[in-house]
Structure 1
Amino acid sequence: MSQAATAAGTVLAAGALVWRRVRGEVEVLLVERTQHRDISLPKGKLDPGETLPECAVRELEEETGLAVVLGAPLGHSEYRLPDGRDKVVYYWQAEATEAALAAASFSPNDEILALHWASLDDARSACTYRHDVAIVERFEERLGAGHETTFPIVALRHAKAANPFSWDGDDASRALTERGRAQALSVAPGIAAYAPSRVATSDAVRCRETVAPLESVLGVAAKATAELSQESPVDPRAAIEARIAKAVLKRRGTVLCSHAPVIPEIVTAVVHATSAAETERTHRASMLHTAEFTVLHVSAGERPALVALETHGPPHR
């Protein structure tokens, strides 16, 4: 999933299937638009400088008043707009917690006329567009598998750092460039959309500087460790496996920021901790450019399972 890979001129948007339980039954949130008078899932267009997950959270709050945390992605829909442009909308599942519902405030406006909570059966009937029905059906499959609630393990590669061949100092002291600092700022809200509760980073300066904006957004202090460094004096694999296994056991959303050679070890550790299979997709998800991050969504159910994964990077400005 990457806006950078989308054809020029394509309109990008993001939204979520928001769900809740009422007396044991699952309901999903639909919006009735004021001008079109259609029924759909909440979504909105990407703003300049936004990542897709950041857009989804912002649009959900603007349209419904709900502040949500993104769960696993549900795929995307594609269709042609009346002006001939293509539109691609990315969706996530997102639980409306009791706290979020209590804090939410909605009033009809020029964009959204009303909010409707509906059972899955009623939502399929109510949605105006077939592509929304397809998203509802994908979520129903997740629900049937017991994967409606997930937590994130995020592998983040550090942002652009100073050239090692012209840097006057050891490699671990290399700082971010101006471009790198902009990258770190731009991806922080996207990672925060998944509300991880822990941040761990290599003790290299470029990694610590990469997570600094994320620390501010989350209000979480990062823990720097040589275990995540590419210059670790020992093989980091055992330490990374143990760290990931603990995060999975405790169902703890965690960000791990490191270097290109270490990122595959992080992804592999999540695969092992969830008894998943290593595939070409998990391999690609570990081959990150500077400031890119892969979110591995693990089921919070009785048996942890790798439900989905997605990769994002700094948006074009």
Structure 2
Amino acid sequence: MSAASPVLAAGVLAWRVVDDQVLVLLVERTQHRDHSLPKGKLDPGETLPECAARELDEETGLAIALGAPLGQSEYRLPDGRDKVVYYWQARVSEEAFRAARPFEPDDEILALAWLPLREAKRRCTYEHDVAIIERFEERLAAGHAETFPIIALRHAKAANAFDWEGPDASRPLTPRGLRQAALVAPGIGAFAPERIVTSDAARCVATVEPLRRLLGVEPKASAEISQDAHEAPERDPRAEIERRIAKAVRKRRGTVLCSHAPVIPEIVTAVVHAADAAETERTHRASMLHTAEFTVLHVAAGDEPALVALETHGPREA
């Protein structure tokens, strides 16, 4: 790795409510004897959300669904390289807390501590961890600590349309596309969506197959979010997309929608409208996806829907 390449890592601000008090989780590292939020470096091929969920599981025994991103911290390592750590908030239900593996100290993590927000900030060794906790406090005060994801996923790389002799909807994924679909599935799965909706085109159905296996959620194929429906002059699929998204938001149901480049902007816009948010340059950029990229729109799970955050990820191919 060159000196100019930053070290990428991901972490989680895990929180739970005990006796009406919000507690956050800090870890004490064995070698450094410091206190910080759980985090760790990316493994080859991982997406950042996948890394965050994996590191929390490995360091604390907690298997959780990621919530909204909390931003990032950047600092210089002793060897002179820059390190960038991306963080997510994640509520730990009592069920997940009880199901966690019993913690045993090892050569990486010495102890875990669930602390009230003020005590956690006081205990943190590093100011960049304090800043992440303070961002979470702002979310908590705004009623945005709990969210659910609506995920727009563009299908992976498919056979070239100009070379394919059959109907466009029958184009299969290429070997590269199959690899892309496998690489992004764990990153999408880190948000634990409850429902998968896919265009009925072969390339979209194949893209969500690794996700189906990972989550055990059977996809629903829909012609309404296909490219054929989008291009049909006698139909307006936008109304169906708006209806589908509005229902998912109303039910607070984490949903993946796998579709095509011309349809993805309509999906993102429908989420923005359902969350009573404004269309911006950022939401526009979030809809311009390359193959196998996905945008996660985090909607507040309270009484009033609000677009809390959005983020875009893709396969980290070699």
TM-score by length of 1: 0.97
- Per-residue CA deviation, residues 65-90 of structure 1 (Å, 9 max, x unaligned), is 11111000000000010011110000
Q: Tell me how large the CA RMSD over aligned residues is.
A: 0.8
SS at 2:283 equivalent: helix
Per-residue deviation, 1:9: 2.2
Give the equivalent residue in structure 1 for 2:267. Answer: 266
Find the partner of 2:123 among 123, 126, 134: 126
User: How many residue pairs were aligned?
Assistant: 311
- 2:29 and 2:109 in contact (8 A); partners too: yes
Question: Which amino acid is the alignment partner of residue 277 of structure 2?
Answer: A
Distance 1:247 1:205 in 2: 24
1:136 paired with 2:133, answer yes
Question: Which amino acid is the alignment partner of residue 112 of structure 1?
Answer: I
- 2:194 and 2:254 in contact (8 A); partners too: yes
1:51 paired with 2:47, answer yes
1:71 paired with 2:67, answer yes
Distance 2:283 2:73 in 1: 23
SS at 1:237 equivalent: helix
Q: Any residues of structure 2 matched to 1:226-245 within 5 Å, and which?
A: 226-232=223-229, 233=232, 234-245=235-246
Distance 1:94 1:315 in 2: 24
Structure 1 residues 140 and 50: CA distance shift in structure 2, 3 A? same
SS at 2:57 equivalent: helix
Distance 2:51 2:317 in 1: 14
SS at 1:166 equivalent: coil
Question: Which amino acid is the alignment partner of residue 201 of structure 1?
Answer: T
SS at 1:89 equivalent: strand
Find the partner of 2:27 among 31, 45, 67: 31
- Percent identical among aligned pairs is 75
Distance 1:265 1:236 in 2: 9
Unaligned runs of 5+ in 1: 1-6
Q: Any residues of structure 2 matched to 1:176-255 within 5 Å, and which?
A: 176-232=173-229, 233=232, 234-255=235-256
SS at 1:217 equivalent: helix
Question: Which amino acid is the alignment partner of residue 279 of structure 1?
Answer: T
- 2:241 and 2:270 in contact (8 A); partners too: yes
Distance 1:8 1:264 in 2: 34
Distance 2:160 2:92 in 1: 45
1:110 paired with 2:107, answer yes
- 2:171 and 2:202 in contact (8 A); partners too: yes
- 2:180 and 2:317 in contact (8 A); partners too: no
- Greater Cα shift, 230-239 or 123-132: 230-239
Per-residue deviation, 1:8: 5.5
Distance 2:205 2:237 in 1: 18
Distance 2:115 2:16 in 1: 10
**Runs of at least 4 residues off by over 3 Å:** none
- 2:4 and 2:81 in contact (8 A); partners too: no
TM-score by length of 2: 0.97
Distance 1:39 1:304 in 2: 35
Question: Which amino acid is the alignment partner of residue 27 of structure 2?
Answer: V
1:283 paired with 2:279, answer no
Unaligned runs of 5+ in 2: none
Distance 1:168 1:221 in 2: 30
SS at 1:231 equivalent: helix
- 2:297 and 2:307 in contact (8 A); partners too: yes
SS at 1:199 equivalent: strand
Per-residue deviation, 1:168: 1.7
